[in-house]
């Protein structure tokens, strides 16, 4: 009997290898052109962006769902339930980061409309003066029939969009 599946968000394997595969796919490849635009300090907070792929000596927040994966997370990584807004609020107030960075994070953008993403960027600006969200332009929602790419909010670098709290 063939089973019909609607989404791969349910019934996923949770062994370390599968969690590794799943976590790798929650981030998009990021180019040096995007990284070069960022000014990461020791007290910056890089959230849900795959801490294993960065060398900055800063703070990282990742989802605790993936904690048992085989990825080599940066030593400054804190794991939280990414749906627990109370815990995130507590953590960010405690850290008081110089900046919050969401770098090519499928978990944060999740194909939502750009207006909704900007709303969340604005919400995060209560914890810091600078919020940066970078995303490939083909992974975020907007009306592609009536909008030219250069008319989008934020800064365009190659095929990547850099949104900040100044764009909200």
Partner 1 sequence: MPDTCSILKRQLDLFDTNEPLIIKQDNELLEFIRSSDIKSARLVGNTDHLISLELPTHNQSDIVVYLVNESFRFDAIVDTANHLIKNHLTSQGWLYLAVNKFLAEPDCYDQTLPVDYELAVLKYFEKNIDATLQHYITNHPDNGTYFNWVHPLTRFYFQKND
The angle subtended at Cα 77 by Cα 35 and Cα 92, nearest 5°, is: 85
- Give the span between the Cα atoms of 25 and 56, in whole angstroms: 21
Token representation of residue 90: 């507590």
The region, left, alpha or beta by phi > 0 then psi within -120 to 50, assigned to residue 25 is alpha
Q: In what order do the strands lie in the sheet with 59-63?
A: 77-80, 59-63, 45-47, 99-103, 130-136, 160-164, 155-157
Choices 5-13, 42-50, 87-95, 118-126; region in contact with partner 1 by CB under 8 A: 5-13
Q: Considering the rule CB under 8 A, would residue 8 count as an interface residue with partner 1?
A: yes
Q: State which residue, 12 or 87, has the beta carbon closest to partner 1.
A: 12
Q: State which residue, 11 or 55, has the beta carbon closest to partner 1.
A: 11
Q: State which residue, 30 or 58, has the beta carbon closest to partner 1.
A: 30
CB of 25 to partner 1, least distance (A): 8
Query: Does residue 35 sit in helix, strand or coil?
Result: helix
Strand 155-157 with 99-103, pairing:
unpaired
Q: State which residue, 101 or 108, has the beta carbon closest to partner 1.
A: 108
Q: Considering the rule CB under 8 A, would residue 139 count as an interface residue with partner 1?
A: yes
Q: Restricting to residues 105-124, name those near partner 1 by CB under 8 A.
A: 106, 110-113
Q: Which of 16, 20, 21, 56 binds partner 1 (CB under 8 A)?
A: 21
DSSP-derived secondary structure letter, 52: G
Q: Considering the rule CB under 8 A, would residue 156 count as an interface residue with partner 1?
A: no
- Residues at the contact surface with partner 1, assessed by CB under 8 A: 1-9, 11-14, 18, 21-22, 106, 110-113, 137-149, 152
């Amino acid at each position: 009997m063939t089973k019909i599946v609607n989404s791969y968000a349910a019934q996923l394997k949770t062994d370390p290898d599968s969690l590794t595969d799943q976590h790798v796919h929650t981030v998009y490849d990021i180019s040096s052109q995007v990284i070069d635009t960022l000014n990461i300090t020791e007290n910056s907070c890089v959230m849900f962006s795959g801490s294993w792929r960065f060398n900055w000596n800063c703070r990282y927040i990742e989802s605790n769902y993936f904690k048992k994966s085989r990825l080599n997370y940066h030593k400054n990584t804190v794991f939280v339930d990414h749906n627990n807004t109370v815990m995130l609020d507590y953590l960010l107030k405690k850290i008081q980061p110089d900046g919050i960075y969401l770098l090519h994070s499928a978990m944060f953008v999740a194909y939502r409309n750009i207006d909704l993403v900007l709303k969340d960027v604005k919400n995060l600006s209560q914890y810091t003066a600078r919020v940066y969200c970078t995303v490939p332009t083909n992974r975020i929602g907007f009306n592609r029939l009536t909008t030219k790419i250069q008319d989008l909010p934020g800064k365009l670098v190659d095929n990547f969009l850099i949104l900040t709290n100044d764009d909200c």
